[in-house]
Structure 1
Amino acid sequence: MAEVSFLSGGGEMGALMRAHDWSHHPLGRPESWPQSLRTTLRSMLNSRHQMCVFWGSEAFWFYNDAYRETLTTERHPSSLGKPGRQVWPEIWDDIGAQIAQVMRGGSATWHENQRLVMQRDGRDEDTYWTYSYSPIDDESADSDVGGVLVVCTETTEQVLVSRRALEERQRLAGLFEQTPSFIAMLRGPDHVVELANPGYMRLVGGRPLLGRKVAEALPDAASQGFVDLLDIVYVSGQSYVATATPFAMQPAPGAPISQRYLDFVYQPIRDDAGRVTGIFVEGTDVTERALAEKALRASEIRLRAINSDLEQQVAQRIHGRARTWQLSTDIMGVLNAEGIFELSNPAWQRVLGWPEEIIASTPFFDFLHPDDLERNQRAFSRALELGEPALSFENRYRHVDGGYRWLSWVAIPEDDKIYCSARDVTAEKQAAESLARTEAALRQAQKMEAVGQLTGGIAHDFNNLLGGIMGALEVARMKLEQGKIGDLPRLLEIGDTAVRRAASLTQRLLAFSRQQTLDPRPTDINRLVAGMEELIRRTIGPPVQLEVVEADTLWLCRVDPPQLENALLNLCINARDAMPDGGHLTIETANRTLDDPAAAAVFDLQPGEYVSLRVTDTGSGMTPEVIARVFDPFFTTKPIGQGTGLGLSMIYGFARQSGGQVRIHSKPGKGSAFTIYLPRHFEAPPQAEPSQPQHLPAATPQRETVLVVEDEPSIRELVCELLTGSGFRTLHAADGSAGLRILQSAASIDLLITDVGLPGALNGRQMADAARTFRPRLKVLFMTGYAEHSVVGDGHLEPGMHILTKPFSLDVLRRKIHDILSA
């Protein structure tokens, strides 16, 4: 079987290929297959990526386990080794020409989100794929290409999700365009118009608005105080509601001024942190109603001024009140102690549809919505017994058609009667609900867009890193087959570098999400900066002058020192990149005391004492738009390939997770200042840690027994291999329940090494706690890939418990085990 060793491994498909009878196949037995095909099949079978191969003029088809998961019984396992046209008849017109092009000696091809209609479970199904076709060299072929290697990923779900998101945005946009009220969305403290619907454009005479400040685009509105109101709402965070507010505007130069009356609301828009980022404007043109009410008031004034005669004035007042009673759009009535309106004006029928005789014979409780009944009974009793008026009291009254209308009441008790008036606020309630739904939909759309950007950035960076790891392993395997072992150290170093970069990317993502495992210790930041000064000078280079300003008697803070060092180095590198022609870089420490207003409004911190670390440069600076996005994941202003866009988001996540904050002060051409604030810590100064050797002495025989509990087989096997090689006796388990059974046995166990997140009923912390009830002196080392505070305990571990963050080198693990068992 040496000749077919290239088919070894490969999971189910490797076994299927080995068991297949190839003696009557056009390709013959596997031992006679071309070397390039054999090498390609070995790589394909042992890859976790979805891969397949078309070989020869008939495009005979091979595929691996990862690709098998996309197939139905129509093709698996019967399609192995068959011509591609027979395997994929329904899509051969789409892919056959692409394969033929590569087979003719063409270059590799790339197809993104390609639509293919496939037969699955007996029916046509729209699918989408991202794939590449790469030539497989074969000197015996006419074009020197013997076949095509396909690396693919099915993207059907992502494409459909994107389409649904687009359709939802289009639906919301349609609602936004068709609403009869005027709507606009303003961004930032300068009230830049970001959105405006047709109703708003009609209101302002079609003036160009988008992307402009309200004060500049609508000077008429600014001169009448509307912009001042926007400023108040933005600063206070309180909404503003106005009714029948006059608004004068000249639609065009030389045109007559138009006088309108508006009901409107200014509603602050907040981000996830509760900060005001803009204002939502919604309202209705109520000019006709306002003019009618104005005319009515003017009529009343004219009637009162006709005669100075007292009798005529009294008569006119009575007449005016009667007209108001008759013509008012507000409901009016006199309520007796039995809860019946003895008097009611015509507005009852106009608003609710009930005639006067029904109102006068029915207790008002019968008209109430069941959910409002108890609250109204209490208010009615207080009004009669205590003489307590009700102002702006809202409830729902049943309409004659069976629906309900919202009414806002003013009720004044006097002489066993209650004099009432009510305004129909149903439209305002509906508008407020519509506004809330619109805001929620907009926030959801923004979240979906942010998630798309985040996942896209992660996929891009991880694909690059995985490419380096896979490439290094494949070339190393090739060198081993060729017997060229001298190149192996360099290839292993390439793979190791890519692994460490992937670990760094994961750590930055965890820092941004505030889920990284921190090891906070009392830290003197002056000492930390002094220890890094030489490294920073070498990093920024001679063109940049470095100045370090240390505060006298600087307070301590409790922080993870390596993470703070990483954050400081990141800020210095960013500052260097902002000064390509050289400049001045200042690192400054200080003690800061924040009072209540400053902490709440400016720094978004709890009041108290803080230590600040500031990095200031004289570089290019940033615009307000860049500052607003600078902490977003994967946002970067650097060219492609020169930055992941995670550095500043990592610093922000680390500072917030440590109980602190990051603040930026920058102007274009004036440089930038980044300040990290960390809470003061009241504890004795930390002692310098003794230096330790990078590697421990060679393994010596040990008497200790170590139990390893880890659900990932590769990690479990490597840890056990390390322990065995170091002279320890090892026991192992794949979940918490199995590990606890070993701990409950009579076996001698000196150290428990366990992952925190284990499958099944018990996680690592629960298993360790249970074991310590009968092994109270058991030493424990937790391994974790992120900070599981609910399990580990917010960084506070019991004596004899330790933690190690994944990923880690085996040398670091070995040193940690030595330190624990030597303590």
Structure 2
Amino acid sequence: MIDDESSPARAHLHVVPTGTVRPAAHPLLSSTDWGATTLGHPDQWPRALTSSVAMMMDSLMPMWLAWGPELAMVYNEPYSAMLGGKHPAAVGAPLQQVWAEIWPDLEALVSTTLQGRGLYREDLPLLINRHGHTEQAWFTFSFTPLRDDAGRIQGLICTVWETTEKVLKLRRLNESESQFQTLFERIDEGFCVIEFFDGPHGPLSDYVHILANPAYAANAGIPNVVGQKVREMVPDEADGWVEIYRNVLLSGVPVRFERELERTGRYLELAAFRIEPAERQQVAVLFQDVTQRHRTEQALRELNDTLERRVQEELDHRMRTEDALRQSQKMEAVGQLTGGIAHDFNNMLAVVVSSLDLLARKYLKDDALAMRYVDAARNGTKRAAQLTQRLLAFSRQQPLKPEALNVNKLVAGMSDLLRHSMGGAIELESVLAGGLWRTHADPNQLENAILNLAVNARDAMPEGGQLTIETVNAYLDERYASEQIGLVAGQYVMVAVSDTGSGMAPDVMARAFDPFFTTKEVGRGTGLGLSQVYGFVKQSGGHVKIYSEPGQGTTVKIYLPRLLNAPEDEVVASATVPMPLSDGQETVLVVEDEESVRLSSIEALTELGYRVLAAEGGEAALKLIDAHPEIALLFADVVMPGMNGRKLADEVRKRRPDLRVLFTTGYTRNAVVHNGVLDPGVELLGKPFTLDELAARVRAVLDKPD
């Protein structure tokens, strides 16, 4: 028996002389009215109970004991915290009363222990009420039987650990691990853990897969990867993979990279980090298949390139459109100038031509030498008239007589003319499309355009070559038409004239349609051939384009609008007849503001046998109409100050609906010609005109049936 009361093991007991151990003044013991309990006063406790209580009170572990028939409880201070609100009333109270809510769970354990069998229960779940409400808690119990001095079992002692926090943490950990395992198994990203080892290639020269999820096999294309070594899996690629992951292992620096799998052509994005501690020589690799993303990025790059290209194309398109607009404005300005010049020049030529015709007819027809001079003058005026016609053609102001036209037949009919014009050194070929649409154009002007192009082609092939004339049905789309000012998208008949000659430089091609521009030496061309073609085509609602490269020849393409619902009947040219004269009974009223032209017209009509009246303007002409009902024909200039020829004709028809009208003009931008085409029912004689032309046209108008 230890009799040192200062001993830590006996801090709460007093040792009495008779050897009986008694409880000291411990708060849990001294504050209890033991007389009111089944245990009685501690001085009366059996030695075994006193010893057990002393041992329990000195323990740092939560402990309680129950003794006697009622199993009255005694517990230490660490256990009091587990009791919560049940303390201190639980001291000396029956065990079944203290833990009534869990007694069904404890009864079997207590009963077994009282039968002499110690028990250990770990993490036993119990629904306890210790704070005024029921709560789930977990405890680990160690039950030991307690015997009296005679060796009979009188109770039990329990060491208890509350494991609620541990159990909950473990449960959360298990749930987390379960979630991780589920995620690990189901995520689309591949995940694996690799472990390095020393191989035949040196230290840390190979690794084995010790963990891998299903996505790894799917993304890497390698099934059953766990346990496989990289040098056995992909021997051709192993060095690269080993180097990347070994650097991560040795440096501890995570890495992220993208790599293409050579065997599958797929792209993977990978991340790798070292698993601590480093001595484990393990690296984790949370990779994914980014082939779709890679392809999407590639598609985006291609789309970006396409957008950049389209933007550049749009800028180029806009520049071409602006260039075309500037060219169109330039041509329009030059056209207005040349048209005005041609008008004045034609009036002057009209006087000269008429005077020469009258001079030859009335005074010089028997004088051969004089007639030679007259013929020379006539040739000069003819060439001058052709020059003004070309100017008018370029300025889109010549009067056209369009008709339903079979271009194949027109080209075929020009065969002999073209062969004679080309000479023997040039081979001529025609490629005519089957089923060629008809167009609505002036056949004479189209012939002139083709001939002009052929002559230019001939001059570009001084050593000989090949000239090809081709026809085809064509469609000009909205995109192309938008770059050409005034061009309407749609169906066209295309005539192309191609040569194998010297071709054109870009700066020459840009000015090819300008009037008076030529690359020929002085005296070999006026520079109006292509200008005339340009004006005729534009005036006909068409389009003309040059394709050429130096040394590669030139192709000029003419596009004329398709004529829908074209009649099948061809227009038959009328036969040439002798100069028709009047019988002297028909009266013509000449209305012309320019005196010299008016006088020459009077003399010419008089020479043809007509009676002639004349007026210098519209107002004077109306007075003559009212005063002379015998007037059979109004021969009026269109362009006059005040009342122009068209307005005069409208006023005349109010008075004389049956009066025939023949207009004359050297300039077609006026009231009787629109878009280069004569208004329906209008008869026009262009200036300058010969006596034969005047006689034929006047006679045709007078003899035209009503």
Answer 1 or 2: higher relative contact order, Cα 8 Å, separation at least 6.
2
TM-score with structure 1 length normalisation? 0.43
Q: TM-score, normalised by structure 2?
A: 0.49
| Structure showing greater Rg | 2
